[in-house]
Amino acid sequence: MATPKTTTKAVRKADEVKTIDQLRAELETKQADQLAAKRSHKLGELVNPRVLTSTRKEIARLHTAIRAAEIAEQKESK
């Protein structure tokens, strides 16, 4: 009999809560990293092209976190 597959997802816990300003600063650095990776990819210097995908996803996550923090801040001020 085949044993059923069990998958475990890694659970991330927020050890530190970042402010909107910290998230925006991190977003700027990620966008600069993405721009540099795109340039090096066009020049053929990029060793691992998966960096482009992971950086793009990290940028999207940061945008989501910023938007969620802004919404929470608006609800709190009401």
Number of structural domains in the chain: 1
Torsion of the alpha carbons at 52, 58, 61 and 63, rounded to the nearest 10: -80
Per-residue pLDDT of the chain (78 residues; tens, 9 = 90+): 567 777 776 666 655 688 999 999 999 999 999 999 999 999 999 999 999 999 999 999 999 999 999 999 999 887
Residue 5 lies in a domain: no
Residue 24 lies in a domain: yes
Residue 73 lies in a domain: yes
- Strand, coil or helix: what is 24? helix
Residue 12 lies in a domain: no
pTM for the full model? 0.76
For 43-55, what is each residue's pLDDT tens digit? Answer: 999 999 999 999 9
Residue 29 lies in a domain: yes
Domain carrying residue 25: 20-77
Which residue type is seen at 57? K
Residue 56 lies in a domain: yes
